[in-house]
Amino acid sequence: MIVIEPAAEGDAEALAEISRRAFEHDVNYGAPGPCGPPGYDSAGWQQEMIRNGRFFKVLEQDRLVGGFVLFRLEDGSVEFGRAFLEPECQNRGIGAELLRFAEGVFAETKRLVLDTPSWNLRTQHFYEKGGYVKVGELDTGEGFVLFQYEKRLGA
């Protein structure tokens, strides 16, 4: 059983370590090397997002195992951003629980958006299985493309 609750600034260091392990684990799924998005391994980035976004931590049996950030966009949509789980917690249905939770945080939201690297076939399959539709591509200028997804809510 998992619990999802708002992250506190005191969680930033542990969240940064979990994020680092999770993103660097993606070398097993096609990542060009042990890397992640900007700030993925930074406690400072985590603290900033806790202060400025809706940062949630994921607990399994009272153990911190992951996190994700929701960003409200100007058009009223919500971005599901920077989701990560400890590698040993992946592929167990927890990610689907996170998506369901994120889809219900802002009741008035009609559209949830996210992106994932073009090389990550695993996450593409996961999001599509969850009802997300690929709506675009964004060249990062860093040698790979981000696939953009959305899900219409409340229809």
Whether residue 154 is predicted with pLDDT greater than 60 in this model: the reply is: yes
pLDDT in tens, 17-68: 999 999 888 776 766 666 778 788 899 999 999 998 799 999 999 999 999 9
Confidence (pTM)? 0.90
DSSP states along 103-135: HHHSTT--EEEEEEETT-HHHHHHHHHTT-EEE
Give the whole-angstrom CA distance, residue 52 versus residue 65: 22
- Answer whether 23's CB lies under 8 Å from 84's CB: yes
> Residue 134: is it exposed, middle or buried by C-beta count within 10 angstroms (0-12/13-18/19+)?
middle
- The pLDDT > 90 percentage for the chain reads 68
Considering the chain, what is the average pLDDT of its residues? 90
Tokens matching residue 10: 């005191």
Q: Residue 155 has what pLDDT?
A: 57
Radius of gyration of the chain (CA): 15
Helices (H) and strands (E) counted in the chain, each on its own, are 4, 7
Q: Return the amino acid letter for 88.
A: E
pLDDT of residue 18: 96
Angle at 108 between CA 102 and CA 109, to 5 degrees: 50
Domains of the chain: 2-109 (3.40.630.30)
